[in-house]
Amino acid sequence: MKVAFNSYLFVFGIWTSKEMSETPNAKHLVIFDFDYSIVDCNSDTFVNSLCPDSIVPERVNKEYDGNNWTQYMAELFKYLHECGVRRDDYEKCLVKMPFVKGLNDLILNLKPKNNADDDDSCGEDEYELIIISDSNSFFIETFLEYNGMENVFRKVYTNPASFDTDGCLIINEYQRQTFCNISAVNICKGHVLQEY
C-alpha cells in the first residue's frame, strides 16, 4: 500500500511538494539520521571507549582509506572481540549515548498514537517516522530499546549488524552503490528516501 505524505521533515530541514500538500488525509513523513541527529555523538566512535585505554590501535586505524568506513568498523569490531568485548559491554556503552537536546521529547510527541498501550490514542496517525543512517542496526536498536522507542519508528534503514556464534559483532553494508558520488559507497540516503 502506498501512503501519501503532506511533507517530509528532516531534523535539518523541511521539504514539501505541492502535490503532496494537496493530498487529503496524507501523513507527514519525519526522517531522522541517527548520529548527531538523535544521539549527540558519532555512535561508531562512541564505542572507542571500549578499547584498552580508549585508544584505537594504529593497525586498525590504518585500515581506513577515506571511503571504506563500514569495513573499518568491521576491523574495529574484530579488534574489540580480541580484547574480550562482548555484547553486554557494547550495550552498557551504547545506552550512555546522549540524546540531542530536545529530540527525546520531539520523538515522543510525534510517535504513532494508535498503539494499544497508548492512552491518548486519537485515531489516524499524523506522522510517520523513519531513520536513515550510516550507523548500524545493533547500535540503533540497542539505543531505541533502552529508551522505550523500539516501536516508534516505522522503518530503520542502516547497515545490518549482528553477533556471530563466537560473539563478534559483524557489520555489513546496507548497499553497495556507485550512482551517487556525494554519498558513502555503502548507503545513499537520498536513494533510500526516494525508494521509500
pLDDT in tens, 29-81: 889 999 999 999 999 999 999 999 999 999 999 998 888 899 999 999 999 99
| Residue 33 annotated among the catalytic residues of the structure | yes
Is residue 7 pLDDT above 60, yes or no?
A: no
What pLDDT score was predicted for residue 14? Answer: 39
Highest mean pLDDT among 21-25, 113-117, 186-190: 186-190
At 144, the amino acid letter reads: L
| Residue 105 annotated among the catalytic residues of the structure | no
- Write the CATH number of the domain with boundaries 5-195: 3.40.50
- Helix and strand element counts for the chain (H, E): 8, 7
Cβ neighbours of residue 79 under 8 Å, at least 6 residues apart?
51, 56, 57, 59, 60
Range in 12-16, 149-153, 163-167 with the lowest mean pLDDT: 12-16
**Which residue, among 100, 99, 130, 102, has the nearest Cα to 195 in the 3D structure?**
130
What pLDDT score was predicted for residue 181? Answer: 73
Question: What residues form the annotated binding site?
Answer: 33, 35, 44, 134
Residues in the chain, overall count: 196
Per DSSP (E only), the strands in the chain are 5-10, 13-15, 27-32, 127-136, 155-159, 161-163, 169-171
Question: What residues form the annotated binding site for Mg(2+)?
Answer: 33, 35
Q: What's the predicted TM-score (pTM) here?
A: 0.82
